[in-house]
Structure formats: structure tokens, C-alpha cells
Structure 1
Amino acid sequence: MNTTSRISQSDTYDKRTIILHWLSALLVMVLWIAGQTIDFFPTGTPRITVRSLHISFGVLLAVTLFVRILWRRGAGSKLPPADAGALGKLAIGVHYLLYALMLAVVVIGIAAVWIRGDNLFKLFTVPAFDPANKALRHNVVELHGLLANILLGLAAFHAAAALWHGLVKKDGVLRRMLPT
């Protein structure tokens, strides 16, 4: 059944919301790929550069997330749920969980930098909080990676749901977040 008329053209998000959404998605993907490949680079300058880029993009994700939350709570578009009932509640829950996971991954990533200590582009050194505590360093880095993997999986579920709305239900939900 085609329900294209259910969501009107005026039911789209504003440009800033759309930009912040897609910037967040891009940063999450780039950060995940960088995180998965850092150890492929030889020690020294190449690995320091990739790790520094990962940290820098992580800070950019933190800033983007902060701006996105402020915008969403303030002047950003507020659209009704695409589905009523349980599916609508599930969609809202997934969105909150995506925000929570992004925030957790960023905060734990910052903690990992502080606990491990790091060299940023050979320009600035973050001193290690407890250099002898290898178990703490390992556990925080592992938690950061685990939550990043969960975030990516949930983001893939979110993308699949958007595609289902756009390609199967054809109800206009996908168009809400597409740039015009």
C-alpha cells in the first residue's frame, strides 16, 4: 500500500537538523573505520597521525552532538512520530539510545585518551593518568570499542528502518531527513 500522502512535504526537518544528522552519521562511520584500522599502521608517525585524527574527529563528534542536542531542544524541527503505537515508541527509543551511545562512546573515548595518555600529531602530549595501570587502560579501551560497535549496529538498524520506510512503505519518512 502506498501511503505517500501520509507525510506532507512540510513535514521535513530543517536544514540545520539535517546537516547535523548527516554529519553525525558520517563522523560515526569515519571514527569506527579509523578505530578498527589504527593498529594496521606502523608504530611511530603513521599510527600517531591516525590516532590523532581519530581523537580529533571524536572531539568534532562531541561538539556536533552538543550542538545537535541544543538545537533539537531549542529551535530545531519537531515532527510527530512516523508510526503510532509500539513502532512509534520503538523509533523514539532507538533515537534516544543512539544519542546516549554517541555520548557514551565520546565520553569513554576522552577517558581512554586521558587514562592511556596520547601524543596528538606530535604537537601536544596528554599525560597518562595512571601509566602503570594497564588493566584500567585495557578495560576502558575495550569498553570504548564495544560501545562503538553497538552504536554502529544500532545506526545500521536505524538506516535499515529508514530505507524500509522509503522503499517499502513509501510513506515519506525517509524524505524527512534528506537534503533538499
Structure 2
Amino acid sequence: MINNIIEIWYWTIILATLIGVVMYWGIGYARDLWSSLMGQRNAWQTGGSNGKAMEPYSRRMVTIHWLTLALLIVTWYLGDVLVDARNEKSATLTGYFAHVLAGGAVLLLTLLRLTYRSVDKIPPPLGFALMDMVAGGVHYLLYILLILLSLSGFMTLLTSSVGEALLVVDAGLLPTKYTGPGVIPHAVHETLVTVLITVVAMHILGVIKHQFIMKDGLMRRMSLRKKGGRSA
């Protein structure tokens, strides 16, 4: 009975969160697309490119960006170690605690970045409508994935014996295999990791194109060493 209630709440929270982030993404994406199209139109009217195209992000957004990347790598590594340890029946509470804390930090940084994105605003688009659309879509997709990844991890704790093991500090309760209500959120969590890696790879390919093929200096937007940039 309790497991059924937990599972119902799990799907309710997942659905509500998914609807919320999709609505947020849709509104933000439409707003950024409109800004991109207006910026491109203005560039055509003035006969040149947007003079603020390489205006940097605020220092705190840049800091959060690199911290999130570093924590993502750490969290992925800790999760990979946990998978091997669980298969070998040698998982520890320390490993789970570290993974949970790192994942929670990623969620916190993601929410902070979304907040500062609204407060500090983002630099104007480059003026290439299609590229701006793709870049905006990838960014919002990353936000959605990071939030859902953290949520699915949290629900895995609630619906499996991992949460109880961490709560009572008893490594003997750690599962060697997920069963019952914990199967679905854990499967979702692992699937989202794969999707996130794919999207991050797309993001990196875009950065490489700008930096080494187009050579437009786009990476300066994410540099902590800049002069005359936005104040935090």
C-alpha cells in the first residue's frame, strides 16, 4: 500500500515538473527566438552585425557554468563507480552520500543559473536565426535534463532502500539490484544520463565550430578573465 502511494506521488511529481519545465522552456525559447529575429532584422537594417554580439554573460553566470560542468563530471564519475560497486556488492554509504550531495549541488546551481538568467539577462544573439534557435534549444534542453536528472535521482532514493540506508546509516540496506517501485525512477535516471551526455556532446561540437571554424570569439562570453564585462 505504501509503495503504491509512493509510486503515485512519484508520477504526479514527475508529470507536474515535466509540464512546468516544458512550459518554462517553451516561453523562454519563444522569447529568445523573437529576440534573435529582431536582432537579425536590426542588423540587416543597419547594414552590419550586432555590435554587442560578443557581450559576455555576467560573472556569476559564467562561474556557475564552469562549476556546474565540474560537478557534472564528478557526479557522473561517482555514479559510474557506484554502478560497478553495486554489481560487485561492495557499494558504500560514503559513495552514495557523495553522489547525492554532488547531484544536489548540480540542481542548486541549475536553479541559480535560471534565476540569474532572468535577472542578469543574456547577451544578444549573434544574428544567425537558425543557429540562434538551435543554441537556445540546446541550452533549455540542458536545463530540463539537469532538473529531471536530479528529480529522478531523488525519487530513486524515496522509492528504494537506498534512502532508508542513508537515513539510518546502515550499509546493509543498500540494494545490489533495484526492485519494486525503485526500478522505474532508476531506469529513468540512467536513461537521462545517456541523453544528457549526447546533448552535452552536441553543445561542445557547437563550441568547437564557433571557436575554430567560424572563429567569432564566442568563447569570450564564458571567460572569467575579461574587461568591461557585465557586473555580477
Q: Does the pair score TM above 0.5? A: yes
- Please list the CA deviations of residues 109-167 of structure 1 after superposition, one character each: whole Å capped at 9, or x if unmatched: 11111111323397599x9xxxxx92421121011011011112111211121121111
* Aligned twin of 2:166: 120
Distance 1:83 1:108 in 2: 37
Deviation at 1:24, TM superposition (A): 1.3
* Aligned twin of 2:8: none
Decide whether aligned partners of structure 1 residues 7 and 112 sit closer, same or farther in structure 2, where only a CA change above 3 A counts: farther
* 1:31 aligns with one of 68, 75, 88: 75
* Aligned twin of 1:93: 137
* 2:55 aligns with one of 8, 11, 32: 11
The answer as to whether partners of 1:38 and 1:51 remain within 8 angstroms in 2 is yes
The answer as to whether partners of 1:6 and 1:172 remain within 8 angstroms in 2 is no
Decide whether aligned partners of structure 1 residues 80 and 10 sit closer, same or farther in structure 2, where only a CA change above 3 A counts: closer
Which moves more between the two structures, 112-121 or 5-14?
5-14
Distance 1:8 1:170 in 2: 16
* Aligned twin of 2:41: none
Query: Over aligned residues, Cα RMSD in angstroms?
Result: 2.8
Q: Which runs of 5+ in 1 are unaligned?
A: 128-132
SS at structure 2 position matched to 1:120? helix
Decide whether aligned partners of structure 1 residues 166 and 10 sit closer, same or farther in structure 2, where only a CA change above 3 A counts: closer
Decide whether aligned partners of structure 1 residues 7 and 56 sit closer, same or farther in structure 2, where only a CA change above 3 A counts: farther
TM-score (norm 1): 0.82
Distance 1:61 1:15 in 2: 18
SS at structure 1 position matched to 2:92? helix
1:72 maps onto 2:117 in alignment: yes
Percent identical among aligned pairs is 24
The answer as to whether partners of 1:48 and 1:120 remain within 8 angstroms in 2 is yes
